[in-house]
Amino acid sequence: MKTEPLIIGDYTFESRLFLGTGKFGSNALMHDAVFASGSELVTVALRRVRLQEQEDEVVSHLQIPGVHLLPNTSGVRTAKEAVLAAQLAREALQTNLLKLEIHPDPRYLLPDPIETLAATEILAKEGFIVLPYINADPVLCKRLEDVGAAAVMPLGAPIGTNQGLQTRAMLEIIIEQSAVPVVVDAGIGAPSQAAEAMEMGADAVLVNTAIAVAGDPVAMANAFRMATLAGRIAFEARMGAVSKSAAASSPLTAFLAQE
Amino acid sequence: MKTEPLIIGDYTFESRLFLGTGKFGSNALMHDAVFASGSELVTVALRRVRLQEQEDEVVSHLQIPGVHLLPNTSGVRTAKEAVLAAQLAREALQTNLLKLEIHPDPRYLLPDPIETLAATEILAKEGFIVLPYINADPVLCKRLEDVGAAAVMPLGAPIGTNQGLQTRAMLEIIIEQSAVPVVVDAGIGAPSQAAEAMEMGADAVLVNTAIAVAGDPVAMANAFRMATLAGRIAFEARMGAVSKSAAASSPLTAFLAQE
Amino acid sequence: MKTEPLIIGDYTFESRLFLGTGKFGSNALMHDAVFASGSELVTVALRRVRLQEQEDEVVSHLQIPGVHLLPNTSGVRTAKEAVLAAQLAREALQTNLLKLEIHPDPRYLLPDPIETLAATEILAKEGFIVLPYINADPVLCKRLEDVGAAAVMPLGAPIGTNQGLQTRAMLEIIIEQSAVPVVVDAGIGAPSQAAEAMEMGADAVLVNTAIAVAGDPVAMANAFRMATLAGRIAFEARMGAVSKSAAASSPLTAFLAQE
Amino acid sequence: MKTEPLIIGDYTFESRLFLGTGKFGSNALMHDAVFASGSELVTVALRRVRLQEQEDEVVSHLQIPGVHLLPNTSGVRTAKEAVLAAQLAREALQTNLLKLEIHPDPRYLLPDPIETLAATEILAKEGFIVLPYINADPVLCKRLEDVGAAAVMPLGAPIGTNQGLQTRAMLEIIIEQSAVPVVVDAGIGAPSQAAEAMEMGADAVLVNTAIAVAGDPVAMANAFRMATLAGRIAFEARMGAVSKSAAASSPLTAFLAQE
């Protein structure tokens, strides 16, 4: 079943499920999970890429037809560090796609709104397709859009917690107002939560921990693939309203009265 | 991707999505939605079946290979009425499958625990495969099992409200304790909610309103098909735990420090 | 601040907070917590009362002016056992008030709807003021009312879990439909949850674990006293509606434009 | 019952309930609600104050012993406008307390993180006691603290929606990390929600719409007073943990077995 394609910068995606590649038990498992997920965009932490070496183990396992790499700047703490990291990533991986992550906070890994806005402005001008990872802040999302972000990536819950869409009330406003794609990133811990984000109208979701730490990561990747697509189809098929009072789907006239 | 089959009585199902057939705009649309859903068990209200006529419009539209009919007793208010309705249904539709619905309450259509237990005991003895629709009451579920229910069908929320798993805390206990399949019935309003029920370990879900009233019921049926399967795969693949504190999926060591 | 009194049977209560008396560190602490709570109705498990002895330790600590005892039948598993227990309780404690608890389930202590309905009918005829503890089942509540229950006590969540109003969707219907007082019992773990039940229109709440296991049970009893009253006042003062879009409480005209 | 006092800048408060003064039906009603609430800090929108006139109607109705005014900058859209507004407010109301609100967004009135940080830094240096109103962003809260904010005021939900603590997951982190008082502002629609914020460990709450639009604003102010205090007492009294499985508060040994 076909759904509308997703366009970010000059890339077009059929799949609306992005994958993170950390925490997998092995590179082979990571490869198989990415393949099963149907994802066309996978993040890779720049720190994991051996920049000077010809045969990088992580990157070589992600050479899958149709799959684009999205380097992320995980580990940087300021706009300045992020800009330098982004330039190294572009050179090493030959892509202008960039997931911008700036989190000075070592415990919850939450993003810094000020540094992220500053770095987005600089990097967008330098030709990067910038996808900033941010708190679910509607005003910040509009400002990022104004300085050239290609998409916004608000968090659903703190990274790695599997808590789901804790920021739902703010995500709804972000989705309503955004002129660029909205990718819900972080906190999605179950296929049902990926489907829920898509039903709300999010343009894509990014999942990592929930797949990587599952008992069977490849099967879980497949489950996320289907649930994300199901959520998108439901959004396009226009769901019914939630109501307070019941409405019978079966007729209520007394069964025996009319026999 | 294969999941464990579901066995109820002497029937085996690959699909864990059951469909209700009320509220569709036309019988043709109903047929197409059932087909798209992949469901192998669809409920039909006995009142909608013209028992004496050879060519019943509703039933004839549900003659789909692999699809079983599950007559329901919607409209009855007592155990006595239910037993009579069940016997008529068996004769008319030539099946011993029965969804037992006894709801004296015309507003919220909530089931009566006392009458339902009494009717289940009688009908099970008469050879019916009884699936009683009930409130999410863990003790009642065990008693129904004791008197011969082939499955239990606790509600997620009042019928037709699309509110989702409002009774989640009780459903968890029911699923943990039940020796017969648990089918979450009523209230499921979005594919994400069907997936959520399956992730919790429910054996199946029954959906009607959310599909029938969607802008595009056939597409929505397909979305529910995928989401239900995704939830089941996730359950079998063992999901990771929910945690309070973040855990980075990307490494945290400062990016530039080691270059 | 005065609120409407609560009438159950021929008793009138100013306080809408009922207290359970289990789990306290000592009888003295129990006494002080009951006093601080302002409660006028406290449950006591019949098993804890030494029926033949003149000086029962538990009961003597609950001899507080204005406080009525509400014996409960905790520990019985059938209607027959409950009726016998009720008669012993009436004789021992000289009261016709009775909290009817029938839970065959040793793990979650959830009530049995069938036995509870049968015992309520018998005991109401014998002149007891019966307050049955039940699952949040709207149809069962109406049936209990029909056979003479003086109030209904639906659970918010399994006993002792402190999970709050997990059955909220069903409680709303029960409150809307009930002709007798609705007392939310079990699961209330924080003063905010007691307030929430009262704001919904519940007539009273029963709290035990949350007070008994607090770091400072007497202070916590006081907190529940205030929160329950606050919730009732809010209900009587008619709360505003929940809305999706913001409405400024401060004027929005640009500050400097008009200077 | 005494609770720990709250200290912000060089002010000490017994009450942890702050009040907004918009939307009241009349100034007399506003006065009576403030009085009933027990609040010692009430916000007033600078735009409502007629700066040059001697007898301002709003301000004169807030001349209540023990009540401090907290002028807010509602209506400004940039740091620059905010700084000018703050200076006018200080002069007009003779206070260095300032609630900093910068919201360029006319629909949801959500705050701008970048402008708010910039203005906080300037105003703190100019001697203001700055309480910035912000999204529930833990990193932003720490940065505001670093530039001199006297407290932080994260929102619970969009202003005026009465939706409660929608941002709870982020509020928990903010409360855990903050070195300055955390005041939950906006979205609190019921006394139970004020209590819930206090139970989580918030230092105070600010309420306006829920009181101003109630059927009886004075009674509702009283309800919020009690609920806020109840929540604080509960926090200081240390609440019990939430658990999954039940724990009986009454003894479970079979009642009749031992008679």
Residue D37, Cα to own-chain centre: how many angstroms? 13
Distance, CA of A169 to CA of D114 (rounded, Å): 21
* Chain D residues touching residue C15 (CB < 8 angstroms): none
Tell me the nearest-neighbour CA distance from B189 into chain A, angstroms. Answer: 7
Q: Does D163 touch chain A (CB under 8 A)?
A: yes
Phi, psi of C169 (to 5 degrees): -60, -35
- Binding-site residue numbers of C for 1-deoxy-D-xylulose 5-phosphate are 160, 186-187, 208-209
Secondary structure of chain A in HEC code, one letter for each residue: CCCCCEEECCEEECCCEEEECCCCCCHHHHHHHHHHHCCCEEEEEHHHCCCCCCCCHHHHHCCCCCCEEEEECCCCCCHHHHHHHHHHHHHHHCCCEEEECCCCCCCCCCCCHHHHHHHHHHHHHCCCEEEEEECCCHHHHHHHHHCCCCCEEEECCCCCCCCCCCCHHHHHHHHHHCCCCEEEECCCCCHHHHHHHHHHCCCEEEECHHHHCCCCHHHHHHHHHHHHHHHHHHHHCCCCCCCCCCCCCCCCCCCCCCC
Mean predicted lDDT score pLDDT of chain A: 90
B213 to chain A, any CB pair closer than 8 A? The answer is yes
Confidence (pLDDT) at C81: 95
- CB contact under 8 Å between D208 and C163, yes or no, is no
CB contact under 8 A, D110 and A167: no
pLDDT of res. C107: 85
CB-based contacts of B115, cutoff 8 Å, min separation 6: B77, B78, B79, B82, B102, B104
pLDDT of residue D245: 62
Q: Answer whether D173 touches A (CB < 8 Å).
A: yes
Q: Classify domain C6-236 by CATH number.
A: 3.20.20.70
| Interface touch D101/C250, C-beta < 8 Å | yes
Q: What are phi and psi of D43, to 5 degrees?
A: -85, 150
pLDDT one-digit tens code per residue, A124-146: 999 999 999 999 999 999 999 99
**How far does D235 lie from chain C, in Å, by closest CA?**
9
pLDDT band at A241 (very low <50, low <70, confident <90, very high): confident
Subunit contact A140:D108, Cβ cutoff 8 A: no
Which helix or strand (DSSP H or E) is residue B219 part of? helix B217-236
A109/B162 Cβ within 8 A: no
B191: which chain A residues are within 8 Å (Cβ-Cβ)? 195, 199, 227, 230-231, 233-234
Distance (Å, rounded) from C-alpha D30 to C-alpha A206? 48
User: Residue A115: which of D170, D139, D110 has the closest Cα?
Assistant: D139
pLDDT truncated to tens, each residue of chain D (259 aa)?
688 999 999 999 999 999 999 899 999 999 999 999 999 999 998 776 665 554 577 888 888 889 999 999 998 999 999 999 999 999 988 999 999 999 988 888 899 999 999 999 999 999 999 999 999 999 999 999 999 999 999 999 888 788 899 999 999 999 999 999 999 998 899 999 999 999 999 999 999 999 999 999 999 999 999 999 999 999 999 877 777 666 655 544 444 443 3
Residues A153-176 have a mean pLDDT of: 91
Annotated binding-site positions of C: 160, 186-187, 208-209
The total of other beta-carbon atoms located within 10 Å of residue C178's CB is 21
CA distance C143 to B112: 9
Contact B110 C135 (CB under 8 A): no
pLDDT score of A192 more than 80: yes
Tokens of C154: 């639906």
**Rounded Cα–Cα distance for residues A218 and D91 (Å):** 66
Q: How many CB contacts within 8 angstroms connect chain C with chain D?
A: 294
Q: Which residues of chain C are within 8 Å of residue B135 when distances are taken between CB atoms?
A: 135-140, 170
- Hey, is the C-beta of B245 within 8 angstroms of any chain A C-beta? yes
Give yes or no: B99 in active site. Answer: yes
Which residue in chain B has the smallest CA separation from C104? B139
A87 lies within 8 A of chain B by CB = no
Collect all residues of chain B within an 8 Å Cβ-Cβ radius of residue C166. 168-170
Phi and psi torsions of D152, nearest 5°:
-125, 150
Alpha-carbon gap: B125 to the closest alpha carbon of chain A (Å): 22
Tokens of B188: 């499921």
- DSSP label at B162? -
Q: Give chain B positions within 8 Å (CB) of A76.
A: 254-256
Q: Is B201 left (phi over 0), alpha (psi -120 to 50) or beta?
A: left
Distance in Å, alpha carbon of B140 to nearest chain C alpha carbon: 7
pLDDT one-digit tens code per residue, A10-34: 999 999 999 999 899 999 999 999 9
Distance from the first to the final alpha carbon of chain A: 44
Tell me the nearest-neighbour CA distance from A99 into chain D, angstroms. Answer: 19
Chain A interface, best mutation among D78, D102, D139, D167, by max A CB count within 10 A: D139
Mutate to test the interface with D, among A135, A146, A152 (most CBs of D within 10 A): A135
Give the phi and the psi of residue B168 in degrees, each rounded to 5.
-50, -45
Chain D nearest-CA distance from A2, in A, is 34
CA distance C16 to C18: 6
Report how far apart, in Å, the C-alpha atoms of A97 and of each of A14, A73, B88 are: 17, 11, 65
How far apart are the C-alpha atoms of C227 and B120, rounded to whole Å? 44
Residue A6, amino acid: L
Q: Are D224 and D32 spatial neighbours (Cβ–Cβ below 8 Å)?
A: no
Farthest-apart Cα atoms in chain A, separation: 83
Nearest to D139 among A110, A138, A173 (CB): A110
Q: Say how many C-beta atoms besides its own lie within 10 A of residue D176's C-beta.
A: 14
DSSP B90-104: HHHH---EEEE----
Show me where the domains of chain A are located: 6-236
Three-class DSSP labels, chain D: CCCCCEEECCEEECCCEEEECCCCCCHHHHHHHHHHHCCCEEEEEHHHCCCCCCCCHHHHHCCCCCCEEEEECCCCCCHHHHHHHHHHHHHHHCCCEEEECCCCCCCCCCCCHHHHHHHHHHHHHCCCEEEEEECCCHHHHHHHHHCCCCCEEEECCCCCCCCCCCCHHHHHHHHHHCCCCEEEECCCCCHHHHHHHHHHCCCEEEECHHHHCCCCHHHHHHHHHHHHHHHHHHHHCCCCCCCCCCCCCCCCCCCCCCC
Q: Is B168 on the interface with A (CB under 8 A)?
A: no
Interface check for A121 against chain D (CB to CB < 8 A): the answer is no
Write out pLDDT tens, residues C98-121.
999 999 888 888 999 999 999 999
Q: Does B253 sit within 8 Å of A234, measured CB to CB? A: no
B83 and B122 in contact (C-beta within 8 Å)? yes
By annotation, the residues of A acting in catalysis are 99
* Whether the predicted pLDDT of A255 surpasses 50: no
- Amino acid present at D50: R
Residue A207: how many CB atoms within 10 A of its CB?
29
Q: Please give the residue of chain B at the shortest CA–CA distance from C139.
A: B112
pLDDT in tens, chain B (259 residues): 688 999 999 999 999 999 999 899 999 999 999 999 999 999 998 776 665 554 577 888 888 889 999 999 998 999 999 999 999 999 988 999 999 999 988 888 899 999 999 999 999 999 999 999 999 999 999 999 999 999 999 999 888 788 899 999 999 999 999 999 999 998 899 999 999 999 999 999 999 999 999 999 999 999 999 999 999 999 999 877 777 666 655 544 444 443 3
Q: Which of C135, C157, C173 sits opposite B137 (nearest CB)?
A: C135
Band of residue C220 on the pLDDT scale cut at 50, 70, 90:
very high
pLDDT of residue D9: 93
Q: What is the pLDDT of residues A218-234, one digit of tens each?
A: 999 999 999 999 999 99
pLDDT band at A245 (very low <50, low <70, confident <90, very high): low
The reply to whether residue B214 touches residue A72, judged by beta carbons under 8 angstroms, is: no
Instruction: Nearest by CB to B248, from A76, A159, A210: name it.
Output: A159
**D142 in contact with A at a CB cutoff of 8 Å?**
yes
Q: Give the residue among C188, C179, C184, C187 at the shortest CA–CA distance from C200.
A: C184
Give dist(CA D160, CA D41) in Å, integer.
Answer: 19
Rounded alpha-carbon distances, angstroms, from residue D157 to A145, A170, D136, D165, D214: 23, 8, 9, 6, 18
Element (H, E) at B17: strand B17-20
Q: Do C240 and D189 touch (CB under 8 A)?
A: yes
pLDDT the model gives residue B49:
64
Q: What is the pLDDT of residue A257?
A: 40
Identify residue D242 by its one-letter amino acid code.
V
Is A112 touching D (CB cutoff 8 A)?
A: yes
Distance from CA of C256 to the nearest CA of D (A): 7
Q: How far is CA C27 from CA C21, C24, C224, in A?
A: 9, 7, 19
D119 is in an annotated binding site: no
**B45:A245 CB<8 A:** no
> What is the full DSSP assignment across chain C?
-----EEETTEEES--EEEE-TT-S-HHHHHHHHHHHT-SEEEEEGGGS-TT-SS-HHHHHT--TTPEEEEE-TT--SHHHHHHHHHHHHHHHT--EEEE-----TTT-PPPHHHHHHHHHHHHHTT-EEEEEE-S-HHHHHHHHHTT-S-BEEBSSSTT-----TTHHHHHHHHHH-SS-BEEES---SHHHHHHHHHHT-SEEEE-HHHHTSSSHHHHHHHHHHHHHHHHHHHHT-PPPP-SS---SS--S-TTTT-
Q: What does the alpha-carbon distance between residue C224 and residue B121 come to, in Å, rounded to a whole number? A: 45
Catalytic entry in B80, B99, B125, B244: B99
Catalytic residue among C2, C23, C99, C244: C99
Q: Would you state the pLDDT for residue C46?
A: 79
Going by C-alpha positions, the residue among C97, C92, C95, C150 that lies closest to residue C121 is C150
CB contact under 8 A, A166 and D163: no
Query: Which chains does chain B touch, 3 or more C-beta pairs < 8 A?
Result: A, C
- Helix, strand or coil, per DSSP, at residue B114: helix
Q: Is A79 annotated as a binding residue?
A: no
Beta bridge partners of C184: C205
pLDDT at position D46 is 79
What backbone phi and psi angles, to 5 degrees, belong to A27? Answer: -65, -30
Question: For residues A207, A213, A215 and A218, what is the CA-based torsion angle, rounded to 10 degrees?
Answer: 40
| Cβ contact C136:B169 at 8 Å | no
> pLDDT-based confidence at A160, cuts 50/70/90?
confident
Residue positions of D annotated with a catalytic role: 99
> Rounded to the nearest 5 degrees, what angle is found at the Cα of B12, between the Cα atoms of B6 and B13?
60
Q: What is the ipTM of this complex?
A: 0.91
